[in-house]
Structure 1
Amino acid sequence: MFFFDTGLILFVIPAFIFVMYAQNKVKGTYQKYVRVPSKRGFTGAQVARALLDKSGLSDVRVEKSKGELSDHYDPRKKAVRLSPNVHDGTSIASLGIAAHETGHAIQHADGYFALSLRNMVFPAASFGSKLGVPLFFIGFIFAEGMGTTFMDLGIALFFFAVLFQIITLPVEFNASTRAVAALEGGGYLTSDEVKPTKQVLNAAAMTYVAATAMALAQLLRLIMLRGRR
């Protein structure tokens, strides 16, 4: 009955609760401040374009994406993609998110070490996140020998998924730090708007912390189950 093992109760379920809390937190904070217009009246797209140009990244495009909170930077296409509310919005949340994604583009151009390392780990992490756990439980069902080999291989593959999540944390926190500094230094925010902008970005960062906690919890569970053999 490995579906209700000790590792699930001790690690995975608490981590899942944390993930749910983080997701609700970021949605709630975003919904609160997306309704608060910034005093200077810049749109997210205008801020992103200005920050990119200031950093000498005129070749990076600012595009509108679909869906809510779909904002991201695509290093392959050199494009900062902003959701409609962020792209066209003038809210504190819109500016914070736009500057954060622009921060990733600047990281890419600067050769920021953590981002480069994350990109190197990504192929193995993607492979491990899809096959690590299934391979492990296939091995768990089998007897000694081949079963043990599958379990060890599953843990090894899933480790790269965990490593990717861990490396992601400094990348995201650094992008947020860059965003706040750029918005404040460039005069896009007033002094009293800095704190709520940080709240938006900190709430978003919490989702990455929660994702890392979940990945670690799953890895610990696999290791505990492996210990039964």
Structure 2
Amino acid sequence: MILSPFYMLLIGLTLVSFLIQWRLRSKFTQYSHIGLQSGLSGKQIAELMLVDNNIHDVKVVSTEGRLSDHYNPADKTVNLSAEVYEGRSAAAAAVAAHECGHAVQHATAYSMLQFRSTMVPALSAVSRFMPWILLAGVLMIRTSVIPLGLGIALFSLTTLFSFVTLPVEFDASKRALAWIDRRGIVTTQEHAMAKDALWWAAMTYVVAAISSLATLLYYVSIFMGGRNRN
């Protein structure tokens, strides 16, 4: 059986995603074993960055899971995994500062973060039934294109969200790297490692966005084919 170009593209993107995830974990493990000359922990770095940006209403807390680090704008917490929270490495410094970069975005009303935040409630509401609508749309394509059209409209929101996420993540990394360098948190060599770790993390979002777009176009191609037959 010869696979269609869309299927080949999706398979290729899936493989690339796995490789990037593996590379990210590999880099994080590698840089986690290299201690910072400053000796600061991820928790200390995060708290220092918040203070330097005049942010006093955000808490730095430890959370379960590996690479589960995130900033929660709802309760204003910087959630760091145990190895980042307690870690004193280039990897811990990069991740801690990156998540605080999101807190700085929130405090300064960064437009793309605000836009992404407004999309979250709608995406949470549609994510539960969107796959079923898409499945029904594909199965019913010979009789009606309306269900698939609705599914495509909903899926386009997730694709838009994935692309809006890109500038938010890149900007947070940019803020993080500029601050740890300016504050003397890292040496030149440590800065290079932190930058490399954040670059691989950013690539996971890039591949996710491209994969979402490819999937959306796949459904659109089915929709167009069904409309021409009906």
Give 1:225 shift. Answer: 1.2
| 1:126-159 C-alpha deviation (Å, 9 max, x unpaired) | 34444334212202212555x3110100000000
Q: Within the alignment, does 1:139 sit opposite 2:137 as a pair?
A: yes
Match of 2:70 in 1: 72
Residue pair 1:33, 1:93 contacting (<8 A) in 2 also: yes
Distance in 2 between the 1:127 and 1:224 partners? 26
Distance in 1 between the 2:141 and 2:37 partners? 66
* Amino acid corresponding to residue 61 of structure 1 in structure 2: K
**Does the residue aligned with 2:47 lie in a helix, a strand or coil?**
helix
Q: Within the alignment, does 1:40 sit opposite 2:38 as a pair?
A: yes
After TM superposition, the structure 1 = structure 2 runs for residues 48-197 of structure 1, keeping only pairs within 5 Å, are 48-142=46-140, 144=142, 147-197=144-194
- What TM-score, normalized by structure 2, do the two folds share? 0.93
Q: Percent identity?
A: 35
Gaps of 5+ in 2: none
Structure 1 residue runs of 4 or more that deviate by more than 4 Å after TM superposition? none
Residue pair 2:141, 2:223 contacting (<8 A) in 1 also: no
Gaps of 5+ in 1: none
Among 207, 212, 215, the alignment partner of 2:209 is 212
**Does the residue aligned with 1:70 lie in a helix, a strand or coil?**
coil
| 1:73-92 C-alpha deviation (Å, 9 max, x unpaired) | 01111000101110011010
- What TM-score, normalized by structure 1, do the two folds share? 0.93
- The worse-fitting range, judged by mean Cα deviation, of 204-213 and 164-173 is 204-213
Give 1:192 shift. Answer: 2.0
Residue pair 1:55, 1:106 contacting (<8 A) in 2 also: yes
Distance in 1 between the 2:93 and 2:82 partners? 12
Distance in 1 between the 2:210 and 2:125 partners? 19
Distance in 1 between the 2:125 and 2:53 partners? 34
How many equivalent pairs are there? 226
Rate the CA distance shift 1:169–1:69 in 2: closer, same or farther, 3 A.
same
Distance in 2 between the 1:33 and 1:41 partners? 14
| 1:54-82 C-alpha deviation (Å, 9 max, x unpaired) | 11111100001111111100111100010
**Does the residue aligned with 2:71 lie in a helix, a strand or coil?**
strand
